[in-house]
Structures are given as C-alpha cells and as structure tokens.
Amino acid sequence: MSTLHTINKSPYAHNALSSCLKVCAMNDGILLLEDGVFGALISAPGAQELQILIKHGANVFALVNDIKARGLEEKVAPDIKLIDYNTFVQLTLDHRCVQSWY
C-alpha cells in the first residue's frame, strides 16, 4: 500500500520537499500544506520532479485554504489538486500511513 506525504515547509527555505521526493514512490500521494504550498508554484525547487511524479501516476495535492491565504491561487502548477480539510481526512484513509516532513 502507499504512503501519504505531507510537507509544511517552503521548498525555497527547507529541504523537507526535496527529501520527500527522494523516497516517494510512484503510487504515493503528496500533500502540500501551510508554508509547504509555496512548493505548488511552477518555478519552485522540486517543481519538475513533482510534474514527473504526476505523469507517472502519483497524486499531488495542496490545501486550498493555505493557497488562498497566501494569494497563490493563480500561480499553482498544472495537475496539482486543490483540496479542503475534509478531503485531507479522506486522503489519510486512502493511504496506509502518513509521513509528515517538516
């Protein structure tokens, strides 16, 4: 079964996302939240790897409340799905475990 990875740190400032990307499997999920949503920008460090993962079947999500709070709605990279807290709960059920990268 697969793992849900949550990342709550900006990839411009911290290594949380890049570390996650090293071990993330193709059928895993990645959820960007809090300052982690800066990783949803098209030009963010790790953005290319995220797009490659998505092409290979991984699901990448970002908490829409955190995106809106930071004024990033128009800047999110393609195929990153914006979700609410209810869907966050559902994602934890769809995956076996949650690894929080912070």
Partner 1 sequence: MSKKILLVSRHAPYGSSTAREAIDVALAAAIYDQDIGILFMDDGVFQLLKDHQGKYINQKNIDSMLSALALYGIEKIYVHQESLDNRTITTNELILDDLQLLNSIDVGHLLSQQDQLLSF
Partner 2 sequence: MDHASIMIFSLAIYSAPYSSQASYTAYQFAVALLSQGHSLHRVFFYQDGVHNATNLAAPPQDEFDLQKAWQQLAKDYQLDLVVCIAAALRRGILNEGEAKRYDKASHNCAEEFTISGLGQLVEAAAVSDKLISFGY
d(CA 2, CA 53): 14
**Residue 13, interface with partner 2 (CB under 8 A)?**
no
CB of 90 to partner 1, least distance (A): 18
Asked if 42 and 62 touch (Cβ cutoff 8 Å), the reply is no
* β-pair partners for 61: 31, 81
Which member of 13, 23, 42, 97 binds its own copies (CB under 8 A)?
13
3-class secondary-structure state, position 58: coil
Member of 19, 34, 41, 49 binding partner 2 (CB under 8 A): 34
Residue 19 CB, shortest distance to its own copies, in Å, is 9
- By the 8 A CB rule, do 88 and 59 touch? no
**Interface of this chain with partner 1, residues 29 to 68, rule: CB under 8 A:** 34-36, 38, 41-44, 64-66, 68
Residue 42 to residue 63: CA distance in whole angstroms: 16
Q: Which is nearer to partner 2, 19 or 92 (CB)?
A: 92
Q: What are phi and psi of 19, to 5 degrees?
A: -65, -45
Q: Which residues bind partner 2 (CB under 8 A)?
A: 8, 33-35, 63, 65, 84-86, 88-89, 92-93, 98, 100, 102
